[in-house]
Amino acid sequence: MTGKSLTMPLTILGIETSCDETAAAIVRGTAPGPGEILSNVVASQIEAHAPYGGVVPEIASRAHLEFLDSVIARAIAEAGIAPGAIDGVAATAGPGLIGGVMVGLTTAKGVALGLSKPLIAVNHLMGHALTGRLTEGVEFPFLLLLVSGGHCQLLGVGGLDDFRLYGTTIDDAVGEAFDKVAKLLGLPYPGGPEVEKRAALGNPRAFELPRPLVTGHNVRKTADFSFSGLKTAVRQLTERQTVKVEDVCASFQAAVIDILTNRTAWAMESFARDFPQAAEKTLVVAGGVASNRAIGGALAQLCATKAFRLAVPPPKLCTDNAAMIAWAGLEKLALQGGDKLGIAPRARWPLSASIGTG
């Protein structure tokens, strides 16, 4: 299918099922945004996974099967539009838990076929990446810090098919590290928000924790991240002495902040070299960890020092949601058209290979 007019407003149904959120949304607008979110429905599975201290893929897939149809119906009803008014159906096609991705993409194919509308297969990471355009109309190019439970990357974003990787985690993602530390400390699931809450009550200098790749014997002058050693240090600390949970959380979060700001500063230099034409240098922070206020405050200070504008979506659009998938689908449909119905789901799908009609 050919791309639509770049100036014609589009109305897109988005579906997101890559992990433990069953979500559907209706978004309307034109690139570069901002767009209008007509509805944004999320059915959380936190209670189902809480007893296990993490997401169980089989439980997540069954929940998507059970709830997705009703979530889509609710999204359309709350948007106050007829199904035929939708210009396209966008769905996460990867990366993610393959069972959940299959449920969402297969459902989207059925809806698109039934409505005779284009299908748009969306890279979940692109959804996060373009959220700043949905909410604030951020122009290309911009620097992206993607921080979530499964991903930690710094990329220069020059367009829908121009993602330049400056740094990535060599082990754990930052959100995963938050959750694992919470589990070590006996905090309830989901752990990230609990660590942030306890950290606000603790002393960030109580314990001297490592900053892998930033300080010590393994310093690297790159934008890559490492959190495994930091997580291990917290485990060893809690095993050898009785600790105040709030102080451990504060010290851990302070180490994370130092790592993130140091690596982002390196990426800012690369971005400035790669995109000298940028009218306004902008750092977009996306993913679930972007809702951490302490991290946001530190990045705001960094941006002020480096003459970057900071764009952070509201918390409900930082975590997995279908509005970001709908918006990414809107931009992709406008520029490149829809995808073939035979496109396959992907457990892995790097942003550098985010475009393709399958």
In the numeric block, which tokens belong to residue 32?
């570069």
Going from N- to C-terminal start, the domains of the chain cover: 10-136+317-353, 142-279
Q: What percent of the chain has pLDDT over 90?
A: 78
pLDDT tens digits, residue range 217-254?
677 788 999 999 999 999 999 999 899 999 999 999 99
Check pLDDT > 80 for residue 7.
no
What percent of the chain has pLDDT above 70? 95
Class for the domain spanning 142-279: alpha beta
Judged against a pLDDT cut of 60, whether residue 13 lies above it is answered with yes
pLDDT of residue 77: 97
pLDDT digits (tens, 9 = 90+) for 98-139: 999 999 999 999 999 999 999 999 999 999 999 999 999 999
**Are the beta carbons of 120 and 291 closer than 8 angstroms?**
no
Q: Return the pLDDT at 144.
A: 97
Please indicate whether residue 20 or residue 187 has the higher confidence score (pLDDT): 187
Q: What band does 2 get if pLDDT is binned at 50, 70 and 90? A: very low
Average pLDDT, the chain: 91
356 Cβ contact partners less than 8 Å away, ≥ 6 residues apart: none
pLDDT confidence of residue 50: 72
Question: Which one is the CATH code of 10-136+317-353: 3.10.310.50, 3.50.50.60, 3.30.420.40, 3.40.630.10?
Answer: 3.30.420.40
Q: Dihedral (C-alpha) 132, 134, 138, 142: value to the nearest 10 degrees?
A: 50
CA distance 185 to 180: 9
- Structure confidence at residue 354 as a pLDDT band (50, 70, 90): very low
How far from 299 is each of 81, 185, 252, 291, CA to CA, in Å?
39, 27, 17, 12
166 three-class SS = strand
The burial class, CB within 10 Å (0-12 / 13-18 / 19+), for 248 is: buried
For 38-83, how does the pLDDT look when each residue is reduced to its tens digit (9 = 90+)?
999 998 777 777 776 777 777 888 888 889 999 999 999 999 999 9
